[in-house]
Structure 1
Amino acid sequence: MSRVADPERAAPDIRDATPEGQETAFRDWPHRVVRRAGAVRPLPPHARSLSDLTFEVGGARLGLGDYMARRRTAGLLILKRGEVAAERYGVGGGPESLWTGYSTAKSITSTLVGAALHDGSIGSLDERCDRYLPRLRGSAYEGLTIRNALRMCSGVVWSDVEDEHPEHGRLQRALVSRRPGSLMDLLCTLPRARPQGAAFNYSTVDTYMLGALVAAATGRPLAEYCAEAIWGPAGMEADAYWALEAEGGRELGGAGLGARLRDLGRFGLLVLEDGEAFSGRRVLPPGWRDLAGQPDSAPTGFGRLKPGIPAGYGYQWWALPHGPTGVHAGAFVAIGAFGQHIYINPAEHVVIAIQSAWPQHQDSDAETETFTLIGTAVHALRSDPAS
């Protein structure tokens, strides 16, 4: 765990760190190390290289280099059956860079819920969260099931969009306070808007709560449990780090995990292979991939999340609509601010990890271009007889 080396270098709210400064901002923030252990999973080259891949957007034909320059891509890794079809770096990044994934951490936290369920630390997804976190009793989270928290259907008032709700300012003040427990204190004051399970509402504080729940259920900090349940068994090549709310506090849960690009690919392979880890140890319940990666309720179904959004939502994963080509059938993706992606396509045995430094938190044009690239890569690898 590390203290901020220079408080002026860390953004007051680390979710608002600039793309250029995000790696420094998160690594200078108090954090715990996620230790790697054991043999490293090899990622050999695939028979079909995608170095010459091109795709069309808005009438323009783009190659991988064009995309990376246009979208300020720090790292791009395309895996087919665990083999590297493409690996590139940009904007000063390289194979050893620890790049922060923002909300891609939500999908890692949900995977840790699955690991805790598998090892018996959690009894059932239909248990109440306050069984493991008594602090929630008397709050709007009282009675909330783990499953509805995973679905982002807590019913508790929250908006991750700064201008939509004044609670965002309270979150910023909680982080600036650098006080352990400040985020739990905040979420225990939030009001209820809907009955649990009735509506989808994307909420980073709900994932923070899930991270705290896993830590309580397993009796160890989230980063330590992540090392035991994921980082070691998946065969990671390097330590990662997980930002804390404060020195000695809890991991952010919904953000703040920094890792190498190849290790994000290995995480994707662990999920793709349904928890059958490289180490030979099963770390997730059988069937977890398909349960977590697809909607399992009406409010999280395809086209039901928000007007104009065709995606669905699983357990902290975005489920992709199939589209006219069907290339994304059964696929799901972790998405983080500034262009972070971990794409998993079980039917095609493809994992794609992308680390970016977009100028804005969200960019619809860049998102469209990214998924056009992903779909083209999946199709190219599908049509290759050797794949």
Structure 2
Amino acid sequence: MDCRIRWARSRRTAWFCLALAATALPSAVALSQEGPGLTQIFDGKLLPDAQVQSFSRSETLFPTRLVPAHGRARPVPDSARSLDGLSIASEGRSYDLFDYLSMNRVAGIMVLKDGERVFEDYELGTRPETRWPSMSMAAAITSTLVGAAIEEGLIARIDDPLTRYLPELAGTSYDGVTVRQLLMMSSGVKWNERLSDPASDRRAMMALQAGQEPGSILRYVASRPRAAEPGTVWVYSSGETQMLGALVAAATGRDLAAYLSDTIWSPAGMEADAAWWLESPGGLEMGGIGLAARLRDYARFGQFILEDGVIDGRRILPEGWVRQAGSVQEVGGRSVAFGYMWWPLSEGSDFDADGAFAAIGAFGQYIYVNPRRRVVIVLLGSQSKPEGSWPIDETDFLEAVARHLD
């Protein structure tokens, strides 16, 4: 995909490529590969209210599986801190909180410091009970389930070959690819993520999702040719997020939704069920998109990550997993600002020592985690375009909030 996002820094200019995942479609828009529905969505041609309505009921657009939240919701105490007087410096101008929320079309925001609620707000007609689509943030949640499976011994080693768990990949381009290489999107399998190209792999994957044929997406991804040796190049591939979901399901013998519920969602005290799109009725969850959850529960997930994958003293993720998942990786001798489906944010900035990283989705979805400053920020957005349409740089906002709370 050629969706380039420029994050300007005083000491650097970095380019990252975010996944533009298939998004919610209003009922009047046909779900088809070539029809006007996709043109409206990915050219940003939906009117603002139609887009918000679409996102607010995204779980009705495809078959879903619930992620149950069993037990009592974990309380989030209020903090004595506030965002009063917040100043955001971006692109040579200064903004305040009201500017940011309005200009960047934020539908929901929650800020935690040391696990306490500093700020929570709902806009654009959303409410605390609204389940909002994750977009590509779901990929980071799926990758976290890989960590949980490793901690449980269901995946023996991160450098195991995928064929140990998915033997049907033998003889395909994924034969010889390891779990780690899949997490880092360095499989070497050829993939074209460019949504503007009608012949791209991403467009084909979207059409297969619309077709709802069991296993069709995985068969397509596995059929792609190899472009490089595993571990030598980095290419963003939405196909590999689906392959990652298949890995978790095969290794655990569980649906992703059930495994997420039992390992994280319920133990971490989420307040409500989430819903996860399926590739077909009763089939595999979409590993890189389609989770819909409440703002507060996205924030609880971020806090779980901030607390190093430990819940009530019980380790859910391997020690060191969170740090590695959110760090710059080396692929083929080059540094790549991509971890285990999380995006490192602080490298080369004044926040270099913070080790901040985020799960990021199209149209302004963020789960931001700053380990050193003990800050979690969730942004649920309804921006006009899948990428590049924010007036105020989101990373500037996130870092300004983290600095303000010191």
Mark yes or no: TM-score above 0.5: yes
Q: Deviations over 1:105-146 (max 9, x none)?
A: 011001000000011111011111121112212211111100
- Give 1:60 shift: 4.2
Judge which range, 251-260 or 153-162, deviates more: 153-162
2:155 matches 1:131:
no
Between the aligned partners of 2:30 and 2:302, the Cα distance in structure 1 is 29
2:342 matches 1:317:
yes
Work out which structure has the larger RCO, using CA pairs closer than 8 Å and 6 or more positions apart in sequence: 2
Equivalent residues in 2 for 1:333-372, closer than 5 Å: 333-363=358-388, 365-366=390-391, 369-372=393-396
2:209 matches 1:169:
no
Q: TM-score, normalised by structure 1?
A: 0.89
Judge which range, 49-58 or 155-164, deviates more: 49-58
2:169 matches 1:142:
no
2:46 matches 1:22:
no
Q: Is residue 300–residue 314 contact of structure 1 (8 Å, CA) maintained in 2? A: no
- Give 1:51 shift: 4.1
Partner of 1:331: 356
The DSSP-based 3-state class of the residue aligned with 2:310 is coil
Judge which range, 317-326 or 120-129, deviates more: 317-326
Q: Is residue 383–residue 390 contact of structure 2 (8 Å, CA) maintained in 1? A: no
Q: Aligned-residue CA RMSD in angstroms? A: 2.2
Out of 38, 41, 50, which is 2:74 matched to?
Answer: 41
Judge which range, 96-105 or 325-334, deviates more: 325-334
- Give 1:204 shift: 1.1
Out of 199, 206, 209, which is 2:233 matched to?
Answer: 199
The DSSP-based 3-state class of the residue aligned with 2:246 is helix
The code of the aligned residue for 2:341 comes to Q
Tell me how many residue pairs correspond in the alignment.
Answer: 368
Q: Deviations over 1:74-100 (max 9, x none)?
A: 111111000111111111112111000
Between the aligned partners of 1:211 and 1:328, the Cα distance in structure 2 is 32
Judge which range, 328-337 or 17-26, deviates more: 17-26
Q: Deviations over 1:33-65 (max 9, x none)?
A: 000112322111111111442323345432222
Equivalent residues in 2 for 1:146-295, closer than 5 Å: 146-163=179-196, 166-277=200-311, 279-295=312-328
Partner of 1:376: 400
Q: Is residue 155–residue 194 contact of structure 1 (8 Å, CA) maintained in 2? A: yes
Between the aligned partners of 1:317 and 1:177, the Cα distance in structure 2 is 29
- Give 1:170 shift: 1.9
Q: Is residue 178–residue 245 contact of structure 1 (8 Å, CA) maintained in 2? A: yes
Partner of 1:98: 131
Q: Is residue 327–residue 378 contact of structure 1 (8 Å, CA) maintained in 2? A: no
Q: Is residue 9–residue 24 contact of structure 1 (8 Å, CA) maintained in 2? A: no
- Give 1:196 shift: 0.8
Between the aligned partners of 1:299 and 1:339, the Cα distance in structure 2 is 31
Between the aligned partners of 1:124 and 1:322, the Cα distance in structure 2 is 28
Distance 1:37 1:300, change over 3 A: farther
The DSSP-based 3-state class of the residue aligned with 1:258 is strand
Between the aligned partners of 2:56 and 2:216, the Cα distance in structure 1 is 24
Between the aligned partners of 2:138 and 2:279, the Cα distance in structure 1 is 14
Judge which range, 17-26 or 68-77, deviates more: 17-26
> Where do 5+ consecutive residues of structure 1 fail to align?
306-311, 383-387
The DSSP-based 3-state class of the residue aligned with 2:95 is strand
- Give 1:283 shift: 1.0
> Where do 5+ consecutive residues of structure 2 fail to align?
1-23
Between the aligned partners of 2:77 and 2:298, the Cα distance in structure 1 is 16
- Give 1:230 shift: 1.1
Percent identical among aligned pairs is 41
The code of the aligned residue for 1:76 comes to I
Q: Is residue 10–residue 24 contact of structure 1 (8 Å, CA) maintained in 2? A: no
Judge which range, 314-323 or 210-219, deviates more: 314-323
- Give 1:23 shift: 3.2
Q: Is residue 152–residue 200 contact of structure 1 (8 Å, CA) maintained in 2? A: yes
Partner of 1:55: 88
